[in-house]
Amino acid sequence: MSKSNSNKHLTLEERIIIETGIKNGSTMSAIAITLGKDKSTICKERSQHLVQVGKCNLPLECANYKKCKPSQSGKVCKASCPDYVPFKCKRRDRTPGACNGCDNFRSCHYNKYKYSATQAQAEYEASLVNTRIGVNASVNQIKELGELIEPLIKKGHSVYTILKNHPDIKLSEKTIYNYIENRIFKDAGVNLGSMDLRCQVHRKITKRASAAYKPRNDRLYLNGRLYKDFLAYLALNPDARIVEMDTVYNDVSNGPFMQTFKFLHYGFMIIILHPTKTAEEMYQGILILEQILGEEMFSKEVEVLVTDRGSEFMLAEKAEKRSDGTMRTRIFYCDPMQAGQKGSLENNHLEIRYICPKETDLYNLGLKDQNDANLISSHINSFPKEKLDGKTPFQLLEFLNPTMARKFKNFGIAKIPSDKVILKPYLLKK
C-alpha cells in the first residue's frame, strides 16, 4: 500500500477498515500496512476509542472462577486468594485488542470492549471542534467533568468551592468559567440559561454565549432530532449504520432534483431523481431506497438518516415509521449553516458538479430520468478514492456487503472499469 497518506488524519473510511480488521482478527501491523499508516497510529486509534460494552458480572476477573466456585466452597473471591489467577484474553488483551468479532462475545462473563468506526469518527470530529475553540481536554474528560460540576452548581456551589473540594481537577477557575460560558459542558446540562451561576453577573457574557438568547425558530419536527440528539443516540448505539441525505439541483422551480444518499460505512452514494422538490417526493425517495434494499436490510443499513433542515425533509415522523408501527429509520438534522456535519456527502456533491455544473439546464444536459441518475451514481462509485487508498466505493461495498452490492446492481447502478470512468458533462450526452 502507498505511504502517501501516512501523515494524514484517519478518515471514516479508514476507521471502517480498522473496525473490519479487528473483527477479522487482524494484527495492528497488518491493518497499518493495509492503510499505509504507522503501527503506532493504529494502536493509538484503537486504545483511544475503545468503548466498554460489557462489565464483568463476576466478583473478580479470575480465570479459576468456574473451577473454584466460591459461592459453593465458602471462599471469598478476592485478589489475595491463593487460587486467584488474573483472567487474560488473547483477543482482548493482545492483538487485535478488542472484542469485535469474538465468537464467545455473548457467553463471555468478563469485561468486554469494542471499537466502533462511527463513534470514533464522531469523537474525532468533536475533538476538532474543541481544539478550534481552545479546549485542552478530550471529549470523555469534558463529559466527566461536566457531569461532576453540574449537580454542584445547581446546589449553589461556586466554581472556586468545587475546585477546592476536588483538587484532582487540573483546571483554573477562569478556565471553568470560560468553558461554561462557551457552552462546552452543554451536553451535561451546564449552561448559562439553565442555572444560577455564581459570579456570573460580574463576568461579561461572550459573543458565542449571547447567541443562545436569540429567538429560535425551530419547527416542531426538529424536536428530539437535532444534531446533539444524533450524537447522544450515537453514544448509546455506537455501531449504528449512518446514511447522509440531501438534494442537488440548479433550478428550484423547474428541476430536476437529485435526492442523494451516502452510506458512510461503505462510502457508497445513490441518487434518486425527482421532478419536484417537495416533502412528499423526498419521502417517496426514502421508500424507493427501502424497496431496493428490502425492509430488513434497510432497517439495518439505514438505521440513521442525517440531513439538513430543508423543508423538503420535514416529514420525519412519517418516514421514520411504517404503516404497521415498526421503526423504519431515525432522522436527525444538522445544525443551521453546518453542512460539514454531513461533510462526507458534500464531497460527493462536488463530484456530481463535475458532471452537472451549476447554472446549467440539467434537462438539456441529458439528466432526464432515473437511468441517467444511475449512470452518474455508477461512475462516481467507480472512481478511486484517495481516502480508500486507491479503492472505489463499489469495491468496498462488494467486499463488505456483496448482497447489498447486488441489490444496487439490479436497480441499475453498474460497476465501471477504472479507465472508463467519466466525470464530465458529456457523460449524459446521448
pLDDT tens per residue, range 68-100 = 766 555 667 777 787 888 888 988 988 888 999
Name the band, by pLDDT with cuts 50, 70 and 90, for residue 5.
low
pLDDT at 343 over 80: yes
Sign of CA dihedral 295, 298, 304, 306: negative
Distance CA 75, CA 425 (A): 77
- Please give the pLDDT value at position 365: 92
- Please give the pLDDT value at position 427: 92
Write the pLDDT tens digit of every residue in 117-137: 999 998 888 776 555 555 555
Numbered ranges of CATH 3.30.420.10 in the chain: 221-428
Distance CA 418, CA 383 (A): 7
What does the angle CA 229 – CA 337 – CA 374 come to, to the nearest 5 degrees?
Answer: 85
- Please give the pLDDT value at position 180: 74
pLDDT at 175 over 50: yes
- Please give the pLDDT value at position 202: 47
pLDDT at 351 over 50: yes
Does residue 179 or residue 128 have the better pLDDT?
179
Least confident of 148-157, 242-251, 338-347: 148-157
- Please give the pLDDT value at position 406: 95
Class of domain 221-428: alpha beta
pLDDT at 280 over 90: yes
Name the band, by pLDDT with cuts 50, 70 and 90, for residue 197.
low
CB 2 within 8 A of CB 389: yes
User: In whole numbers, what is the pLDDT of the chain averaged over residues?
Assistant: 84
Segment 44-67 shows an average pLDDT of 85
Write the pLDDT tens digit of every residue in 262-272: 999 999 999 99
* Percent of the chain at pLDDT exceeding 70: 85
- Please give the pLDDT value at position 192: 55
423 grid coordinates: 466525470
Least confident of 136-150, 162-176, 208-222, 346-360: 208-222
